[in-house]
Amino acid sequence: MRNMLAGSWLAVLLRGLVAISFGLFAIYNASATALILLSIFVFYAVADGLFTIVMAVMHRADSKRWWLGVLYGVVSVLFGVFALLWPEITSLLLLYVIATRVMLGGFFEIGLALKLGEYVKGEWLMVVVGIVSIIFGSWMFLQPLIGGLSLLWLIGIYAIIVGGLLVIQAYRVRHKHQHIVI
């Protein structure tokens, strides 16, 4: 096993370099990154919808509710077409969905911290996480263009950090024949 892992240092290095490249691209080309992600969503929504329609029609004899698959497929295709025709609105709606989820998560963290306060030490950290989440989500609502941009920057920073760690791991595996810890 050690020899196999040591021999895969190049694959780990390449993963790291790709992650760093993506991170830099996301940070320095945020609008292009958003467009690429939106394009992937459009492709997925349309393909998923079409495959679901085909599957539902092919198996209509197996279920009385086969039309639900067709309905879902049509809705998915329509969402994909909507995203393609109005990418700005789709991006804004997606940002609002993410902001809502972040804020709800913040309220959940605070509520959980208050509920678990008597059982868990350090519950104040959960409160801090909740407050930060609520502030970040609110900020995304109030400044959607900046909020979306910062979200892409955070994804880019994450990718650079992970990529850097993979590069370090590849170096360690290559030169010290240590196990990969990923």
Of 33 and 65, more confident: 65
| Three-class DSSP labels, 111-132 | HHHHHHCCCCCCHHHHHHHHHH
pLDDT of residue 182: 47
Of 140 and 46, more confident: 46
Q: Which helix (H) or strand (E) holds 86?
A: none
Q: Where are the domains of the chain?
A: 2-31+86-176
Q: If you average pLDDT over every residue of the chain, what do you get? A: 83
Mean pLDDT confidence for 24-36: 84
**pTM, entire model:** 0.57
Task: Give the pLDDT confidence of 95-124 residue by residue, as tens digits.
Answer: 888 889 889 988 988 887 787 766 666 678
pLDDT of residue 7: 59
pLDDT of residue 119: 67
Lowest mean pLDDT among 45-49, 83-87, 117-121, 167-171: 117-121
**Is the confidence at residue 147, as pLDDT, over 80?**
no
pLDDT band at residue 180 under the 50/70/90 scheme: very low
**Contacts within 8 Å (CB) and 24+ apart, 107-114:** 107/134, 109/133, 110/134
pLDDT of residue 53: 92
- The answer to whether 27 and 156 have CB atoms below 8 angstroms apart is yes
pLDDT of residue 127: 85
How far apart are the C-alpha atoms of 78 and 75, rounded to whole Å?
A: 5
pLDDT of residue 4: 46
**Is the confidence at residue 177, as pLDDT, over 80?**
no
pLDDT of residue 81: 93
**Is the confidence at residue 2, as pLDDT, over 60?**
no
